[in-house]
Amino acid sequence: RQPPTVICYICGREYGTKSISIHEPQCLKKWYQENDNLPKHLRRPEPKKPEVRTVQAKGFYDLHALNEAAWTSAQAQLVPCDICGRTFLPDRLIIHQRSCKPK
């Protein structure tokens, strides 16, 4: 059995339950730096951390619901290509559009 992991709501990657609290502030700082370097039309609003209520009286979170909400949040940040419709992170969309050709 694999150890439980939590999905980052910013980048969509999986981290251990102890590591996610260290990763999220660093990931958000990196997100701000990358977003500021994008052209104005590709800049995105700040990602909001999804709220998931505790399930049990002991205060535990439903890890599956938390991961589902984080994954949805990370996917919502992707931007579609005007030519082919595929979705990319904004900084990768610029590179993709150099070689994207209409069918």
* Domain spans, the chain: 5-77
Residue 12 pLDDT > 80: yes
CA distance 90 to 33: 13
In this structure, the number of other CB atoms found within 10 A of the CB of residue 74 comes to 19
> Model confidence at 3, in pLDDT bands (50, 70, 90)?
confident
Residue 29 has a pLDDT of 95
Give the position of tokens 């619901």.
65
d(CA 73, CA 71): 5
At 17-75, the pLDDT tens digits run: 889 899 999 999 999 999 999 888 888 888 888 876 656 555 566 778 888 888 888 88
Query: Is 14 in contact with 23 (CB distance < 8 Å)?
Result: no
CA atoms within 13 Å, Cβ hemisphere of 44: 22
**pLDDT score, position 56:** 58
Q: Report the pLDDT value the prediction gives residue 65, as an integer from 0 to 100.
A: 80
